Amino acid sequence: GLKDAIITKIINFNNEKMQITWASRELFHNENVSFSYTFDEGKHKVWKPCPTYLLDQDYNSGCLFKTEGPTLAISIRNSNGSEELFSKKLKADFYIKPNPPENVTFFWKEDTVTVSCNKPERAVKCLRLELQYKSMFDKEWQSRTSRCCRVGDQGFDSRKCYSFRVRLKRLVPHCNIVDYSSDWEAETFWMNGTLLDSCDDDRTSQSNTVIVLSCLLAVLLMMLIPLILLCKWQRLQMSVMPAIPDPKYIFADLLNDHNGNFQEWLDKTDHVVLQTKIEYEEPECITEAESQQEDEKNSDKQGPLEKIFTFSGTAENSDLKAAQIACLIPTSNTIASFAGFHILMNDDMYVTL
């Protein structure tokens, strides 16, 4: 029952070294076990003790030894070797873990990348070359697998930095019982066919570009906001306190073209807006003298003439002129009396004495 419960992990490193491990603390409590192996297939097998033990807290938990053939037999015994605790016979070639690819080269052509490596000396048909890559914007690796030892893919963006890694895989179940792959080759960083130390340089350059653009945008905003506020203030100021037009711009041609000659400017330009004249009909004015003559002609028929105005002494001529001036004044709604004269006036009149 103990032999069936023991589980071992077997790795054949590139068919050069064998490593066999077991869970010593779980299987053999407080007991150190011994390990022996043989690659002989005949009846007369020569068992070899483990040359290098792997330890787990001072307990033997594995053995590392050289690969000497395709068929392997192992045996685990108690500390003094008197009792066999576990034994197994296996094909060493079914547990091969290949070495990482050697001399890896990258070939770039536009958006296509082809990766190749040196061919291993043994079992090339059982190997596959796996390529994984991702950009700084990808969270997961993209994987491509092809026959050893050439693999490629297309669709790469020349503006992005990519991380690449490659490894060799053994075919299962044609060549291996266990799915073993080599360790990853050292990760490399490429951008548009140029090898970089890391994609952090690209991130740094992009972050610097973002910082510069952000600063420029902030400066533009700082310049734009005062202009907007100034325009708003000018509109508010114009609405509250409208600007008074400067007459020198309105009469610029009067001063520049006509040298201040107002009459010439009126005759040659259309800047003066003619006011609509209020047309009115002047009432027929009859002087006092004409009234007297008509009254004398009609004295025989009508009797004594009643005089409207009585002129005395030397004031007769001046009073006559005043009466004539009064006749020139347009019809008024107001009657003004002065020195015995009755004068009709309107709102637009004034009298100079």
The DSSP letter of residue 125 is G
Instruction: With cut-offs at 50, 70 and 90, classify the pLDDT of residue 308.
Output: very low
Statement to judge: residues 129 and 168 lie in one domain: yes
Q: How confident is the model at residue 64 (pLDDT cuts 50, 70, 90)?
A: very high
Q: What is the C-alpha separation between 163 and 199, in angstroms, rounded? A: 8
- Same-domain check for residues 154 and 87: no
Question: 239 lies in a domain?
Answer: no
Does residue 109 share a domain with residue 61?
no
User: What is the total count of domains within the chain?
Assistant: 2
CA–CA distance, 143 with 133 (Å, rounded to integer): 7
Q: Do residue 146 and residue 187 come from a single domain?
A: yes
Distance between CA atoms of residues 147 and 169, nearest Å: 10
Query: Could you tell me which residue, 235 or 108, shows the higher pLDDT?
Result: 108
72 or 339: which leads in pLDDT: 72
pLDDT at res. 273:
45
| 90 plus 140 within the same structural domain | no
d(CA 313, CA 293): 20
Region at 308 (left for phi over 0; alpha for psi -120 to 50; beta for the rest): alpha
Q: 237 versus 131: which is more confidently predicted?
A: 131
Q: Who contacts 336 (Cβ-Cβ below 8 Å, separation ≥6)?
A: 342, 343, 344, 345, 351
Asked whether residue 125 falls in the same domain as residue 81, the answer is no
Q: Backbone dihedral region of 57: left (phi > 0), alpha (psi from -120 to 50 degrees) or beta?
A: left
Strands 127-135 and 162-170: antiparallel
Q: Which residue has the tokens 């990482």?
A: 100
pLDDT at 28: 78
The residue ranking higher by pLDDT, 283 or 252, is 252
pLDDT at 55 over 70: yes
Residue 142 dihedral angles phi and psi, to the nearest 5°: -95, 135
Assign residue 89 the CATH number of its domain.
2.60.40.10
Angstrom distance (rounded) from CA 140 to CA 138 = 6
Percent of the chain with pLDDT over 90: 32
The answer to whether residue 261 is domain-embedded is: no
DSSP 26-39: HHSTT---EEEEE-
Our measurement of the distance from residue 342's CA atom to the centroid of its chain's CA atoms, rounded to an integer in Å, reads 90
Residue 117 lies in a domain: yes
The reported pLDDT for the residue numbered 287 is: 47
Angstrom distance (rounded) from CA 188 to CA 109: 18
Is the domain of 72 the same as that of 21?
yes
Tell me: do 115 and 190 sit in the same domain. Answer: yes
Distance, CA of 61 to chain centre:
59
Position 67 scores a pLDDT of 94
Domain final position from 76, 97, 118? 97
Does residue 235 sit within a domain? no
Q: For residues 196 and 118, state if they share a domain.
A: yes
Residue 13 three-state SS: strand
Q: What's the rounded mean pLDDT across residues 250-277?
A: 63
162 and 192 housed in the same domain: yes
84 within some domain: yes
Distance in angstroms (rounded) separating the CA atoms of residues 151 and 153:
7
> Which of the pair, 311 or 296, is modelled with greater confidence?
296
Asked if the structure places residue 180 within a domain, the reply is yes
DSSP letter (8 states) at residue 144: E
Predicted confidence (pLDDT) per residue in 105-142, tens digit:
999 998 899 999 999 888 899 999 999 999 888 889 99
User: Quick one: pLDDT at residue 243?
Assistant: 64
Q: Give the structural domain span for 92.
A: 8-97
What token pair was written down for 8? 């071992």
What confidence tier does 42 reach under pLDDT thresholds 50, 70, 90? confident
Give residue-wise pLDDT tens across range 144-174. Answer: 999 998 999 999 988 889 999 999 999 998 8
Same domain, 46 and 119: no
Domain boundary among 168, 202, 236: 202
Residue that finishes a domain, picked among 62, 97, 132: 97
Residue 297 has pLDDT above 70, yes or no: no
Q: Are residues 198 and 110 in the same domain?
A: yes
Average pLDDT, the chain: 76
Q: How far apart are CA 322 and CA 311, in angstroms?
A: 12
User: Which pLDDT band holds residue 296 (cuts at 50, 70, 90)?
Assistant: low
- Judge whether 58 lies within some domain: yes
- The rounded distance, in Å, linking the Cα atoms of 150 and 166 is 11
Token pair listed for 15: 């068919």
67-73 mean pLDDT:
92
- Residue 331 included in any domain: no
